[in-house]
Amino acid sequence: MLKKNSSCGPFLLLAVLSSLLISLTGCRTLEVPSKSSGMWTPPQWYNQSKKPETVLNAVRGKKPSTDKPMRLVELVGLALQNNPSTKQAWYQALSAKAQVGEARSAWYPTVTAEQDFDNQRVISSRPLQSMNQGDIGANLKLTYMLMDFGGRSAKVEQAFQTLLATNFQFNQTFQDLLLNVASAYFNFFSTTALLEAAHMDVKDAKAALDATTAKFSAGIQAKVDVLQATASYQKMLYQLESAKGNLKTAEGDIAKVLGFPAGTPLNIMLPQKDVEFKVGTRTVDQLIEEGLAKRPDIAAERASLAAKMAAVKAARSDLWPTLNAQGTGSNDWYKYFGRHGLNYDTQHNYGYGAGVSVNWPLFEGFDTVSKIKAAQADADAEFENLRQKELSATAEVWDAYYNFVTATQKLEASKAYLDASQGSYDLSMDGYKSGLKSILDVLNAESDLSDARSQVIKSRKELYTSFAQVVYATGTINERTDAARAEKGTVEL
């Protein structure tokens, strides 16, 4: 007959409690990769869990209207509503604003309320000494810093300048998005035009191939001419497929910058090809000065420097004492019970107090001194960062300006190149049909014409984008800027 082991009771209770604790905390486990030479395998509970929905599902249903073609200005407005970059920068600005309120809270008193509920019971072998005591207490404490030698003011200034920098950084993100939309738009326009040019190249190559085939069939042309014309035709077909792929890539890029998934249907109005850009009367030096004065990234760096300098003042204030005022108030109720719940006594106490204290840390292991040095080094580094940013801004304006000037001249030269190439091709084709030109003359003229078409399109894109870069580099680009309205007519820098 088995005897019951009473010692198993505590262990059984411990096992039940452990199982309960594990069930409350979750039974899932997660390990690091077992080795550095192989990929990590997700655990079974992750594979069996419900897959999280992507955040893109929230925007898949918000497709842009395709009823009418959208101009660049309308695309800009669409991007400002859907692209997450400006929303992220906006939330960062809201966070910085809240931190200003956090810093200003040091100028207000701190009020702390406490409520205590206590019960104490004493059981004695002598009945008269047994006691049951109840206590209800309420305490209120007020603390206010009277003086801290500028620490609070410096921290508020630091948070305020950080908010200012964040707001300017929001403007920079805003301008970045405008430039990205313009660049994606002009790239889409360029790839569309290159696809049209590729179709024209295929048509010209097919015409040359047909003419050569006809002569070969009539016995007045060698087979090698047909092979050369065929090779040229196949080359143009290859370039046509490449142009189609580039257009699909451009469509994906413009959908992304608008804040929509790739493959979203878009109806885009392309700009006219006769837009005229003028440099205007301002010199490059004037544009550089304008950029240094108006660029939001420069303003953000200046505000960041001011925040770092305020942090130095805040750190130095810790070397000095703080003067604090304090006030307290309390109210307590006591009730004593004897045997069988007999009420022995009831007591009510209340009180209040006030005072002033000085807190001056005399030695903290050089912690404060180290913080001052670190804050000063951060400020010095931020100053050099600002200087580097301003130097880069001058170079960006300089490069953008002369790229724009160069692009203007290149477009004019490419148009002249196209006119000459078209004339050469026409004469070569006519001469080949009449027997005065060889097939090599036709193919060379055809290659020059194809190159000239591409050069005009690329030069026009370069002009558009370089103009947008100039406006961006000077910090004057906005949702209604000339860079966004550069679709027709004359635009002056």
pLDDT, tens only, 367-377:
889 999 999 99
Q: Vertex 170, ends 164 and 172: CA angle to 5°?
A: 105
Q: Tell me the pTM.
A: 0.82
pLDDT of residue 218: 87
pLDDT of residue 2: 42
Q: How many CB atoms lie within 10 A of CB 318?
A: 18
pLDDT per residue as tens digits for the range 11-30: 666 666 666 655 555 567 78
Rounded to an integer, what distance in angstroms lies between the CA atom of residue 443 and that of residue 427? 12
CA 345 → CA 131, 300, 333, 337, 338, distances in Å? 11, 69, 11, 7, 9
Domains in the chain: how many in total? 1
Residue type, 31: E
DSSP string, 316-373: HHTTS-EEEEEEEEEEEEEEEE-GGG-EEEEEEEEEEEEEEEEE----STTHHHHHHH
Q: Give the three-state DSSP class for 143.
A: strand
190: pLDDT strictly greater than 90: yes
The label of the residue with tokens 């955040």 reads 55
DSSP string, 160-209: HHHHHHHHHHHHHHHHHHHHHHHHHHHHHHHHHHHHHHHHHHHHHHHHHH
DSSP string, 255-320: HHHTT--TT----BPPPPTT-EEE--S--HHHHHHHHHHH-HHHHHHHHHHHHHHHHHHHHHHTTS
pLDDT of residue 64: 83
Range of the domain at 291: 76-108+148-321+360-492
Residue 55 lies in a domain: no
Mean pLDDT of 255-270: 90
Residue 54 lies in a domain: no
Residue 168 lies in a domain: yes
Residue 336 lies in a domain: no
Q: Which of residues 55 and 201 earns the better pLDDT score?
A: 201
Which residues have a Cβ under 8 Å from the Cβ of 231 and sit 6 or more positions away? Answer: none
Residue type, 216: F
192: pLDDT strictly greater than 70: yes
Q: What is the CATH number of the domain that holds 290?
A: 1.20.1600.10
pLDDT of residue 483: 46
Residue 426 lies in a domain: yes
Rounded to an integer, what distance in angstroms lies between the CA atom of residue 328 and that of residue 138? 11
pLDDT of residue 331: 84
Residue 349 lies in a domain: no
pLDDT of residue 435: 87
pLDDT per residue as tens digits for the range 343-357: 566 777 888 889 998
Mean pLDDT of 399-409: 94
Residue 140 lies in a domain: no
pLDDT per residue as tens digits for the range 378-395: 999 999 999 999 999 999
Mean pLDDT, the chain, rounded, equals 86
Rounded to an integer, what distance in angstroms lies between the CA atom of residue 297 and that of residue 390? 9
Residue 82 lies in a domain: yes
Q: Give the three-state DSSP class for 26.
A: coil
H or E, element range at 235: helix 223-257
The residue count for the chain: 493
Rounded to an integer, what distance in angstroms lies between the CA atom of residue 159 and that of residue 155? 6
